[in-house]
Amino acid sequence: MNTRSTRKRPFQQDTSELPPPAKRPRRAGGVESESIQVQLLRLFPEDLQHQYEVIQLLHEASKTRLAAGARWYKDGGYEEELQYLVESERELDILQMGIKTREGFQKGKDKIAELDREEKKMRVEREKIRREFEDLAVQARSLDIPFLVKLAGGFCGGNIGVEPATDKGEEEVVVAVKE
């Protein structure tokens, strides 16, 4: 029998460390995270512009009412109208910034798409040229270079010699060299 007394550790509530606050994802190289860009691009520019115009009209109406003076308001309505004016100014600023940011993202996306199309065209052109060079290399391998040099020797000015060379396929090819 165990005569040793066991000590239970008392349970202490809320003694654990609080987790660190969640941090906003950092921008990498000046580029916003994809989720922000995608969210902004999902918004229709016409809807943003319409909402901006509506809030702007309400904001102007509020300014007009406030210009009438405090004596026209009963039961603290002037302060409420003033608070509404401040909120509508903030909404206008946010909408305007959102519209400009979305336009910037859209222009960037369009420019990237245009560059991708141009890049694709360039790759296709490079591939065509590469194929032409391959065809020319096949033709060059089938030529009798020493005989060609003899034929051209009478018409070319200067001395023409023949020396061995290799192509990319490491096959030995004879090339004429003008001396």
Integer CA distances (angstroms), 160 to 139, 145, 152, 165, in order: 21, 12, 9, 15
pLDDT at position 43 is 83
The pLDDT assigned to 134 comes to 92
pLDDT digits 0-9 by tens, 113-164? 999 999 999 999 999 999 999 999 888 888 887 788 778 776 665 555 656 6
Any idea what DSSP says for residue 177?
E
The structure's pTM equals: 0.51
pLDDT of residue 68: 73
CB of 76 closer than 8 Å to CB of 92: no
pLDDT at 29: 54
**Per-residue pLDDT tens digits for 62-113:** 888 777 776 666 666 777 888 888 999 999 999 999 999 999 999 999 999 9
Q: Which amino acid is at 6?
A: T
User: What does the pLDDT average to over 3-19?
Assistant: 58
Q: Where are the beta strands (DSSP E) in 127-168?
A: 160-166
3-state secondary structure of 175: strand
* Position 171 pLDDT exceeds 80: no
Average pLDDT over the chain, rounded to whole? 77
